[in-house]
Structure 1
Amino acid sequence: MSPSLPASGFRERLVRQIVALSEERSQFLDTYFPMPGRERKALDQLLSDYIGAVEKLLQLPDESIPPVVLIGSDVRIAYLNEDSLPASAEWVTIIHPDQAEADENRISFLSPVGKQLLLKSEGEVLTIRTPSGELKVRVESVRHHQDLSSAIESGQAES
């Protein structure tokens, strides 16, 4: 089993997460983007892509599941500098929008950073576009120790 995956119940938690996303999809879309438009369509596509990717991961044997960023994951990202200074890094947790807490590095999977990190793999380098500019980052490490299903279910219960 991949060292980033918890030994007990990981698959069950992922299944509960995608079931919750699927069953609550309309309510979720209505809550965060009640009006038809580009943003709602983009969120609907993000949910489809995420559910499809997780379903594919669930088809793999445990030892073959790559460490990818999922809702509920802790992610260590390194900020890559253009100059010769060493890159700085921090841990963030990708969670449901209702659980976001910037001061605790708990970011929504709907935030600009969260959306762009979702489904990325360890070692992947990407340029994240934010309202304040672009950040070049590398996904250093991904941990899935948190109850992944509660990252969706508790947020939905609060909506």
Structure 2
Amino acid sequence: MSHSLEQTFRQDLREQLAYFEKETSELLRKAYPDLAKRDAIHALVSKYCDHIYGYLNGDILGEIDECVWIGSVVTIIDEIDGTEERYKIVLPHEINADLGHISFLSPLGSRLLLAHKGDRIEVDSPSGSYGVMLFEAAYEK
């Protein structure tokens, strides 16, 4: 990875931490009236923030394209029919279905966040449960 992409990535992570520090309580309160679901999403956000701190502090090395971050473009393969789909994992206010930008809070996005290449992901969606394999993850600005 180029030095400038590394700097951009680090800056994006710092901005994400600031976003979560400011917005998490309100986001959870508005989006998740169900307390159990709210607690699960809060745990996901906390785990993600811990991962960011680990990366910024140098405790986690070389994971920019090995794991799924907010800002990663992922390619997944459906277990049943083998079709490939590409999505970009984004913050809720950046969703754009036409561009394939899905929230990290969506059923698929929340399961992909922090997943690693080759992981099998089981997704519980309103239309039922399904499995996918994370084929590729690449951070993009």
TM-score by length of 1: 0.75
* CA–CA separation in structure 2 for the residues paired with 1:26 and 1:127: 27
The one-letter amino acid of 2:76's match is: I
Of the candidates 32, 47, 69, which is equivalent to residue 49 of structure 1? 47
The one-letter amino acid of 2:97's match is: A
Q: Which residue of 1 aligns with 2:115?
A: 120
* CA–CA separation in structure 1 for the residues paired with 2:127 and 2:34: 26
Could you say which structure has the larger radius of gyration?
1
* CA–CA separation in structure 1 for the residues paired with 2:127 and 2:47: 26
For structure 2, the 5+ residue unaligned runs are: none
The SS at the match of 1:24 is helix
Q: Which residue of 2 aligns with 1:105?
A: 100
For structure 1, the 5+ residue unaligned runs are: 147-159
Deviation string 1:68-124 (CA, Å, 9 cap, x unpaired) is 11112111111122xxx6x21111011122222333321111111111111101111
List, as ranges, runs of 4+ consecutive aligned residues in structure 1 with deviation greater than 6 Å: none
The SS at the match of 1:6 is helix
Q: Which residue of 1 aligns with 2:88?
A: 93
* CA–CA separation in structure 2 for the residues paired with 1:61 and 1:9: 19
1:144 matched to 2:132? The reply is: no
Deviation string 1:118-152 (CA, Å, 9 cap, x unpaired) is 11011112222212122221111111112xxxxxx
1:20 matched to 2:19? The reply is: yes
> Sequence identity, in percent?
29
Contact 2:54 2:60 in 1 (8 A): no
Greater RCO structure (CA 8 Å; 6+ sep): 1
TM-score by length of 2: 0.83
Q: Which residue of 2 aligns with 1:73?
A: 72
The one-letter amino acid of 1:132's match is: S
